[in-house]
Amino acid sequence: MATLISDTAPWKHLKTHVGEIDKTHLRDLMGDADRCNSMMLEFDGIFFDYSRQRATVDTVSKLFALAEEARLKQKINSMFNGEHINSTENRSVLHVALRASKDATINSDGKNVVPDVWKVLDKIKEFSDKVRSGSWVGATGKSLTNVIAIGIGGSFLGPLFVHTALQTDPVASKSAGGRQLRFLANVDPVDVARNISGLDPETTLVVVVSKTFTTAETMLNARTLREWISSACKPQAVSKHMVAVSTNLKLVEKFGIDPNNAFAFWDWVGGRYSVCSAVGVLPLSLQYGFPVIEKYSKGARSIDQHFHSAPFEKNIPVLLGLLSIWNVSFLGYPARAILPYTQALEKLAPHIQQVSMESNGKGVSIDGIRLPFEAGEIDFGEPGTNGQHSFYQLIHQGRVIPCDFIGIVKSQQPVYLKDEVVNNHDELMSNFFAQPDALAYGKTPEQLQSENVASHLVPHKTFTGNRPSLSLLLPSLDAYRIGQLLAIYEHRIAVEGFIWGINSFDQWGVELGKSLASQVRKQLHASRKKGESVEGFNFSTTKLLTRYLEASADVPSEPTTLLPKI
């Protein structure tokens, strides 16, 4: 019988230890310079400060004992060694191979996968160079200066995050040279309208990104844009205007995309971990050029090596993962706010939501035993100052939400105004430095009284403090740093899953909703085409569906093709 981590002595020691931590306040913990100093480290330009965690040096050593008990080191090694750690899908988990150097050896099922990875990367380089230089043109002879990447979930969120972060980087934006990259994810026709708005099909390349090439949303969107292209040009135009990224090359061909224009990846790459495969590298190279994206992969590689080899006390993803476990499973804080102090990282939180919540939102252990504790955490976030004027009220005086503060030393786009007290980036960063202390220290009734605050307002203006956060300070935000940040979060989430003893690499929880939607799809078809009444659903769903069908009775039962026009 497999043992759950919650049955082990290190877990129980940490449970007891909560009582000791409850007697402390961050206001006092922060006064111990030696403690704080031991909770700061630097790797390859990234400065990490976790002194504002509700933890002591003793907590950290107890977390290391938990890591030992969970066999964290062995599990990390198993991942890098290509063992089938995704046991429910019988697959290895090798996104680290996607950013390995050409001469590295990483085996999956006895085969070094790195040459295959580089074969695809070289093909992307060649193809993206051709499109960008105008030697690959559309069906009517025009250069393809716009790209729409169709995909959802992991085939969308990671590439969108990287694209948004690179857009304002001077090197990347110069290299983009006025090209456009858009993402069509939602099956909502409104998203189609937004994506094609203002674009000319004759100058647009569509990249269909889907690991399985069966995802309903992506395939309908792909058929929609195939229609958009072939009706504007000619049906034969598809071979010049549509390419694909998938593990399922047979279905790519069946769809009508030339297999020569397909870019492969492999089942050992999880969708949400696929941004360094052709999923991200193709659209991003088309936009920014392969050399920029290669730098991004190198950043991720630097963290992969650090994660694999650094001792736990100096290992940023390991420490981050263990501290998350402490916050979620012991201190009882189920959520985490991701708060980058740069607009360029506005899509970091949406990406990490999928990586984290699809990976660790599980109810059973890897051996199928129902967990007696909650795994996973609720991730959300916004760029810092926007969040401050939105949900920070709750994190200062309402619920306790551990926060990740992410700051950048040098802005991608500095602004200096001659009469201002500080430059614009310093203004932004003032908040990055102030907020963690406001959360940690709070403000006492005594302080308020000494400021002559009216007594009836004292309770309202009191801040309890003792609210944990951590800070990551990056020297800049170029492609390399973006790659580092991505890999830090990916590995942190793996560490959490390894400790909880779950499978962070499957996603069975998305299946039930999909199959019920297919039942509804059949009903909508039968009702619209044959006037059949709604049957086989519970009372509430029958009522809602009937209402929907009645209220949209003007939808033609045999429609001619209609595409959005805005």
Q: Backbone dihedral region of 376: left (phi > 0), alpha (psi from -120 to 50 degrees) or beta?
A: left
Q: Which is nearer to ligand F6P, 153 or 383 (CB)?
A: 153
Strand order in the sheet with 40-43: 40-43, 46-49, 469-474, 403-408, 335-340, 378-381
Q: Which is nearer to ligand F6P, 87 or 444 (CB)?
A: 87
What is the nearest approach in angstroms of ligand F6P to the Cβ of residue 191? Answer: 15
What is the nearest approach in angstroms of ligand F6P to the Cβ of residue 439? Answer: 33
What is the nearest approach in angstroms of ligand F6P to the Cβ of residue 119? Answer: 21
**Residues 207, 450: Cα–Cα separation, whole Å:** 63
Q: Which is nearer to ligand F6P, 51 or 247 (CB)?
A: 247
Q: Which is nearer to ligand F6P, 152 or 233 (CB)?
A: 152
Tokens of 88: 């429910």
Q: Backbone dihedral region of 406: left (phi > 0), alpha (psi from -120 to 50 degrees) or beta?
A: beta
What is the nearest approach in angstroms of ligand F6P to the Cβ of residue 152? Answer: 5
Q: List the Cα angle 190/350/309 in 5-degree steps.
A: 145
Helix or strand holding residue 339 (H, E): strand 335-340
What is the nearest approach in angstroms of ligand F6P to the Cβ of residue 454? Answer: 52
Q: Which is nearer to ligand F6P, 207 or 325 (CB)?
A: 207
Residues 6 or more apart whose Cβ sits within 8 Å of residue 118: 102
* Catalytic residue set: 358, 389, 514
Q: Which is nearer to ligand F6P, 152 or 300 (CB)?
A: 152
Burial class (CB in 10 A: 0-12, 13-18, 19+), 146: buried
Count Cβ neighbours within 10 Å for each residue of 44-68 and write b for 16 or more, e otherwise.
Answer: eebbbbbbbbbbbeebbebbbebbe
**Residues 302, 163: Cα–Cα separation, whole Å:** 20
What is the nearest approach in angstroms of ligand F6P to the Cβ of residue 279? Answer: 7
Query: Which of 158, 244, 263, 251 is CA-nearest to residue 205?
Result: 244
**Residues 138, 510: Cα–Cα separation, whole Å:** 37
Tokens of 468: 């944990």
* CA distance from start to end of the chain: 61
Which residues here bind ligand F6P, judged by CB under 6 A? Answer: 152-155, 210-212, 215, 218, 271-272, 358, 507, 510
| Residue 559 identity | P
What is the nearest approach in angstroms of ligand F6P to the Cβ of residue 507? Answer: 5
DSSP 502-517: --TT--GGGHHHHHHH
Tokens of 542: 């029958």
